[in-house]
Structures are given as structure tokens and as C-alpha cells.
């Protein structure tokens, strides 16, 4: 055991784990699709406020996916 692990354990910081980036991109892409379907639903019912809300959410997911793809 090295000193860094001992310091983490003593400080109460959990051991770092590694996740596959595709897990996060799949979750975000799924959320984006949900937001787009809700946007389309509210567009059909002429509810502009909710349509714009879900459109903004979908755009935020798209920007996050772009950031993740450029970083990894």
C-alpha cells in the first residue's frame, strides 16, 4: 500500500474508481431523446413554454455530449 492510499483512507476519501465513458454518453443521449420527445409533444399541443424548456434541456445534453466527446 502506498502513502497516497493511506492518506485517502485516513481522510475518509473513497478510493478512486474508473468508469467507461460510454456509460455516461449513453445515459446523456437517452436523456436527450426523452427531452426531444417531450419537446415534440408540447409542440403539438401548442404549449410554447414547456416546448422551449425541453428544447433547452436537449440542447444542454447535446453540449455535454460534445464536451465529453472532445475531451475523451
Tens digit of each residue's pLDDT (9 = 90 or more) over 9-54:
555 555 555 778 888 899 999 999 999 999 999 999 999 999 999 9
Compute CA distances 26 → 42, 63, 65, whole Å: 24, 14, 9
- Any domain includes 30: yes
If you search the block for the grid coordinates 436523456, which residue do you land on? Answer: 31
Q: Does residue 45 fall inside a structural domain?
A: yes
Domain-located, residue 11: no
- Cβ neighbour number for residue 14 with a 10 Å cutoff: 7
pTM reported for the whole predicted model = 0.70
Determine, yes or no, domain membership for 13. Answer: no
The tally of domains found in the chain comes to 1
Query: Are 57 and 35 contacting, i.e. CB atoms less than 8 angstroms apart?
Result: yes
Q: What distance in Å separates the CA atoms of residue 36 and residue 58, rounded to the nearest whole number?
A: 6
Give domain status of residue 65, yes or no: yes
Higher pLDDT: 43 or 8? It is 43
Give residue 35's domain range.
Answer: 18-71
Asked whether residue 2 is assigned to any structural domain, the reply reads: no
The answer to whether position 31 is within a domain reads yes
Residue 50 lies in a domain: yes
Amino acid at each position: 500500500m502506498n502513502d497516497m492510499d493511506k492518506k485517502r483512507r485516513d481522510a475518509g476519501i473513497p478510493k478512486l474508481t474508473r468508469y467507461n465513458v460510454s456509460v455516461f454518453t449513453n445515459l446523456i443521449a437517452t436523456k436527450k431523446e426523452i427531452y426531444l420527445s417531450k419537446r415534440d409533444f408540447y409542440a403539438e399541443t401548442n404549449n410554447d413554454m414547456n416546448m422551449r424548456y425541453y428544447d433547452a434541456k436537449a440542447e444542454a445534453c447535446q453540449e455535454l455530449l460534445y464536451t465529453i466527446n472532445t475531451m475523451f
